[in-house]
Structure 1
């Protein structure tokens, strides 16, 4: 089996832009020389058969699946992060048995690398970085059954394809080309990274021991991933409420939810025209004989109206509907 080795290009002292990997791979401190990312985008640097470039490989190893479309001009990678992300994992035991399937031990039989598709599926559900790590011969069948779907195959293959529009994402002009573009300048990313770092630091310094997951692509998450993400957010919010109202934080949480519901009801003016429209939809829903007709009626309001508001007019509505 061919061993993959990436060579670090020589770098000038001018490459002092922010290290793109400092927040995502925050257990490694930035050290050493920084190199610009654009030289890592060439096909000549792509020694991994699942990646078009070394930069794509590095982003997958860092589980940067939620990297927003942004201008990468001026961003860098430091020696420490480069060496960590290009380090070859020893194929000594499965990294999936205990982590994903809760087995007592990790198997050492029939070891192979975790592919891009499987890694993306695991990240979607568990927010774990496992691309190019090791799994045993027993895990792939279970993982493939779960993650080898049309959506995951397409998403995993295309999620970083925007990198190769180098005229847009690796040129200084696009930073100021439009006031409403999706691209981020170095200062914007620095501010965003600082906020994330300080927020995590605040939680840890105050005794929080849970996981702090962040994402910029919540809308692209699978349903189960969203549920896991929301659970983690709830844990963090309850922890913060314990600081703000240590004796009554659970009551504050319940009142906050109730307050939001009441506030939302008022904004929809249930007794006005909105109520009349929803009443008509409710009547049509009750008179419909086929489930497809009912689903179409719900789709009219489902994207704009919260479920608990819909349920006031159509009580048997559920998330599944």
Structure 2
């Protein structure tokens, strides 16, 4: 006890301050939504990795080669080199994926040069039936839509998504991503204004193969389901996807002036963020639906189209002493955001 006390007294205020700063800088964690279930895909990958390791250690694969080189067995022409290469590839892929999900191996999250740090914008969901969706036939069968404007802020702060990561953000299934702040929004239903709470989310970018362009993926967690007529916004994790560019110069010709028409008939546009980054003002919304048909995610996630979304400049917040002019500006901005659909 005396030694510990002496060591503590020997620490300078500057050292103690550094320790406290490191504690504060501990990476934030984003808990997985309720009902995420057992990570079956990770379990299958782990089993495949173990099985491949046993196969490699066998007498007809890498284990036999090592034994022959060590002189522990005579040379024989019974080595199955094809199976050795196959098992080595499976072991490397499955093992690396599981270690990445566990956080033991942390891959570089700088997947592209585009950064949305400090970008604040208005993201408006337009939930409803879309062509090609696998949502139940009775869902949004009336043609009704649920429009939900939300204020979203992107940050470069790293967050820990927990085991087993989020494959929908990053094809590698990384456990880490960037922080996204979102408190939710409101829409007008049959009973008046309905508040929809959100608990934030995360985002990541992936290279698209086109110079200066990246795929932007992010999600928002909704603790409680929201409904309007026969349209529901399920509780849980909702995924968004669109395109972003590292600068205005990288944006394809015709997009900035609204001359490009997207497959849904809408005119493409961009929203500029800090540092010159540009984000496509429209994208797709989806949710996961894993069941026995894909072994509850073991064969990859099944994404169901939930609707689409738009991106716009932030709508001015409601002020306690709001003037009629300020209210008119705010309402026009909100109508414009909803009217994009």
Q: TM-score over 0.5 for the alignment?
A: no
TM-score by length of 1: 0.22
Report which structure shows greater RCO (CA 8 Å, sep ≥6): 2
Q: Higher strand fraction: Structure 1 or Structure 2?
A: 2
Larger fraction in helix: 1
Q: Which of the two has higher C-alpha Rg?
A: 2
